[in-house]
Amino acid sequence: MTREKLLAANWKLNLPAEGIGAYCSAMRGRPNAGFDLVLAPPAPFLELLVRESKAAGESFAVGSQNSSQHDSGAFTGEVSARMIAGLGARYAIVGHSERRTIFGESDETVGLKLAKASDAGLVPIFCVGESQETRDAGNTLDWLHRQVTTALAVAARSFPRLVVAYEPIWAIGTGRNAKNPEIQEAHQAIAGIVAPLVPADCRLSILYGGSVKADNAAEIASLAEVDGFLVGGASLVSSSFLAIWGAMRG
Ligand code: PGA
């Protein structure tokens, strides 16, 4: 298993106020930092972002925020992993806590989605994380163990490249990021859980997500076991997202 840095923007159901064109222009001309920067827009904008990425010399990659566990059929509203890959996207966020809590995705569903994303050649950004209640009850590590092992067992794929995003639900969009020891403990646990479940040469990234901003990114990025970030709110303005990229670059 080797570890790789990665930085990903999750725009959720939002668009940058500065406009997509201006945002993507701002992503150009960065020195090569040796790791991918991924933008995950709402699905109707995937194709435009892929075009912008090509025009920008692929200085960023494109990812979806979700992808179906089905390839085709009577599944109104769904978009398959193959369709997303066919547009030229390279990553797919799978199992974000908003998908789990608002749209009822179970660990099993997440596992099926991981399998389809992998079959389509997409790199899954597999999200896990505990609620405040679970943390208060002292069950965080058991929770993460169950989320990771159940989904990877259902997926039953050997991932050549896997991204796991640790996103405590109570830290998402709250302005209250997890504390350094909490992040380190969770990332260390995830690394240990994933290791026997992926091929020996798997390229793994473990990202932290939850109220990451320009002013806390450098400190969190310096923690052992933190390979990068999945960023929501602070990714909607190019300058703040690029400041996080700068903090990761060191
Ligand atoms: P946030 O969201 O950065 O706004 O907390 C992170 C996420 O949901 O991926």
pLDDT tens, 147-177? 999 999 999 999 999 999 999 999 999 999 9
**69-110 confidence digits (pLDDT tens):** 999 999 999 999 999 999 999 999 999 999 999 999 999 999
**What residue ranges in 96-248 does DSSP mark as E strands?**
123-128, 161-166, 203-209, 228-231
**181-212 confidence digits (pLDDT tens):** 999 999 999 999 999 999 999 999 999 999 99
How much distance in Å is there from the Cα of 164 to the middle of ligand 1?
14
Instruction: Count Cβ atoms below 10 Å from residue 181 Cβ, excluding itself.
Output: 9
Distances (CA, A) of 79 to 36, 126, 146, 155, 217: 24, 17, 27, 18, 33
Active site residue 145: no
Q: Which atom of ligand 1 is nearest to the CA of 174?
A: 5
The pLDDT value given to residue 230: 98
Q: Which atom of ligand 1 is nearest to the CA of 171?
A: 5
**Burial annotation 159-169 (CB, 10 A radius, 16+ → b, else e):** bebbbbbbbbb
Residues contacting ligand 1 via CB (< 6 Å): 10, 167, 172-173, 209-212, 230-234
Q: pLDDT confidence of 29, banded at 50, 70, 90?
A: confident
Reply yes or no on whether the pLDDT at 250 is more than 90: no
Percentages (nearest 5) of helix, strand, coil residues in the chain: 45, 15, 40
